[in-house]
Amino acid sequence: MKVLVAVDGSKSSLHAVKYAAKLSANMRSNDVITLIVVHDDHGLQHAKRWVGKAEVEDYLRELSDKELKSSLAVLVKAGIKHNTIIQTGHVAETIANVADKGFDLVVMGTKGRSGITDLLIGSVAQRVLATCQKPVLLIK
């Protein structure tokens, strides 16, 4: 089973990685777990004009590496083969699009915002769940 795990550096995304690792181990799967980090760079378009596109891309790469660090450590410790995908764009849409192009399952954490906040602005997890054509497993 090809598993895509969305990572954002939060505790809930680390729980999702741990769950995916345990799932893979329990299934005795030799498949690779793929971690995906997506940053919405729309708000940085203005910054690109002033500091340069390369500097913004370097910043996003460093941020992604930082967010992946603890998740990668979990997979290495568990001895699970893994890949990483780092992209920019609309976060939920990008995760769903990548998942629909070759994965069997999406695993991601929920951030535990209040019900009113989610009702007003929604969450990435809700948007992925609504738009992805593959099964989505949400981990608290």
- Going residue by residue through the chain (140 aa), what tens digit of pLDDT does each one get? 899 999 999 899 999 999 999 999 888 877 899 999 998 877 666 565 667 667 778 888 999 999 999 999 999 999 999 999 999 989 999 999 999 999 999 999 987 444 555 554 458 898 999 999 999 999 98
Number of domains in the chain: 1
Residue-range definition of the domain harbouring residue 37: 3-139
Q: Residue 134: which residues within 8 A CB-CB, separation 6 or more?
A: 99, 100, 103, 104, 105, 106
Q: What's the token pair of residue 34? A: 């793929």
pTM above 0.95, yes or no: no
Any idea which residue has 């629909």 for tokens? 100
Domain CATH for 37: 3.40.50.620
Phi and psi at 96, nearest 5°, equal: -65, -45
> Of the candidates 36, 26, 41, which has an alpha carbon nearest to the alpha carbon of residue 101?
36
